[in-house]
Amino acid sequence: MHLFSRNLLPRKSFGLLVLGFIVLSVVIAQPAFAYKSKIQELFDKEMPEFEKIPEDRFNAITYEQTDVPFGDNALAYSIRLPEGWKESDSGAISNYNLSTHLLGSIVEYYSPPRLESVRSRFEIKALRLEFELTAEQWLLQHVLGNGYTLEGLEYYDKNKVGALYVNLKDGETFVTRLIAQINGKRMISAQYVIPAAQWEKEAALIAQSLDTFELLNPDDSAIEPMYEHMILDIAKFSYPASWKLDTQPVRTVDRISATVSNYNKNHTTLLDGLVEVNLISAYIASDLKEELSNIKLDYRNKGLVIDELIHTIEDFEFHDDVEFGFIDVYKATDTQNKSMDYEVWLGVLAMDSYYGFVTLMTPSSDSEFFIWSRNTSAFETMIRSLSLQDNNITIMDDSNSNDEP
């Protein structure tokens, strides 16, 4: 599968190994792209395009609306709304209490009344996020959970995504065009909801209007706190505070490991995900293929059989300390329970005189998309932050570790 099936070279020849990896990768590597689950591929639909309204005309038929709902700076926004659209007759939403499960209404604006259908509306909704995930992952969970028909997806960055979907309510079909954006610990959805009969008339205007939507106080802080674990004085990595760290007594610096577990929120003895970080000295690692085989055998002994290779991620942005690395994604089967599919993500990387093997065990995206999203986001955080320690690092307390330092 990889050129690493050869014996590993002594550390003094490590530069040749890296050079060989680079040269052969040019020959054998497929074009690099980010890994997408089957769910993401299924919903990967281009957003329909509409003829843009000339700017002077657009400005003449819209007005700028700026507000700080409930005095919450994280919700402060600006948008150009169509002329004649007014805030809900009931006035401002009075109950401001963000849920972690349901989108709560923040503001609502309605089009003028008409005889042929109900009014169109623009609304901003929000909820409080608990765990690290991307805007795309949240949106797909939202679409799947509500049974919407996705017609278009527009990716801006990991914290912002646009979508177009169709849904049925009270016997009438509606088209929703939205922007979903993570701002700090909040997911904010700015959306137009249009009766299907009016969609063709209003589509271009609302698309251009949404392009003007802006959160006035961007917040790029993490959704949940992060802990940092120091692996002796050798390396370190970060992990979400909602995960549980377990470490084993260190008997030799040649092989060091740490386990970080995602326990089920409602059943704290059940695992939803597991990440294992193993560092092996390059001086004792004789064959990388053998090390990978040992990892797969260890999973088999735990009752999880690693099956076919789904994808290899070769363009992942590791820490600058990492001299080379890749991530393999495998399909896996539980020998005791074949009703659920699993995935094992296996990251291999080299730093100075150590090789790192970072594995993730997770339900597949088809089986449990929400759990898969949370697990892969945490895995990304851990493997991206895995790096060497420097002499100026102050060791932080892993406050949720099971073991004494």
> How much of the chain exceeds pLDDT 70, in percent?
84
Averaged over 132-148, what is the pLDDT? 91
- Give the N- to C-terminal CA distance of the chain in Å, as an integer: 39
Among the listed residues 313, 320, 317, the one whose alpha carbon sits nearest the alpha carbon of residue 387? 320
**Contacting residues for 4 by C-beta, under 8 A, at least 6 apart:** 21, 288, 289, 348
What does the pLDDT read at residue 43?
62
Is residue 267 predicted with pLDDT exceeding 90? no
**Which range among 28-42, 170-184, 317-331 shows the weakest confidence by mean pLDDT?**
28-42
Q: Which CATH architecture has domain 3-31+225-388?
A: 3-Layer(aba) Sandwich (3.40)
Residue 405's pLDDT is: 37
Per-residue pLDDT, 93: 57
Whole-number pLDDT of residue 393: 38
Assigned CATH class of 39-215: alpha beta
- SS3 call for 346: strand
Q: What is the per-residue pLDDT for 96?
A: 67
Confidence of residue 41 (pLDDT cuts 50, 70, 90): low
Domain residue extents for the chain: 3-31+225-388, 39-215
Looking at every residue in the chain, the average pLDDT score rounds to 84
Give 190-203 pLDDT, tens digit per residue.
Answer: 999 999 999 999 99
Greater model confidence, 314 or 127 = 127
Encoding tokens for residue 117? 């259908």
Residue 27 phi, psi (nearest 5): -80, -45
Instruction: Please give the pLDDT value at position 117.
Output: 85
pLDDT class of 36 with cuts at 50, 70, 90: low
pLDDT at 369 over 50: yes
* Alpha carbons 330 and 349: distance in angstroms, whole number: 17
Average pLDDT over residues 259-275: 89
Judged against a pLDDT cut of 90, whether residue 357 lies above it is answered with yes
How confident is the model at residue 396, as a pLDDT? Answer: 43
pLDDT of residue 394 exceeding 70: no
* Mean pLDDT for the stretch of residues 60-72: 94
Instruction: Report how far residue 61's alpha carbon sits from residue 331's, in angstroms, rounded to the nearest whole number.
Output: 53
Please, are residues 376 and 360 in contact by the beta-carbon 8 Å criterion?
yes
Q: State residue 3 phi and psi, 5-degree precision.
A: -70, -10
Least confident of 14-23, 36-45, 253-262: 14-23
Average pLDDT of the residues in 76-97 = 81
Higher pLDDT, 250 or 93: 250
For range 373-401, the mean pLDDT:
74
| 39-215 matches 3-31+225-388 in CATH topology | yes
**pLDDT, mean of residues 342-357:** 92
Q: Of the segments 33-37, 226-230, 390-394, 395-399, which one has the largest average pLDDT value?
A: 226-230
pLDDT band at 18, cuts 50/70/90? very low
Q: Is the pLDDT of residue 265 over 70?
A: yes
- Judge whether residue 3 has pLDDT over 60: no
Mean pLDDT of 126-142: 92
Reference 326, options 354, 305, 367, 355; nearest CA is 355
Higher pLDDT, 80 or 145: 80
pLDDT for 389: 86
Cα–Cα distances in Å, from 115 out to 118, 120, 189, 194, 365?
Answer: 8, 12, 29, 15, 45
- Residue 233: the pLDDT is 87
Distance CA 243, CA 381 (A): 12
Q: Report the pLDDT averaged over residues 59-71.
A: 95
Distance (Å, whole) CA 400 – CA 405: 12
pLDDT of 12 strictly over 90: no
Checking if the pLDDT of 377 tops 50, the result is yes
Structure tokens at 128: 């409080």
Q: How far apart are CA 320 and CA 281, in angstroms?
A: 19
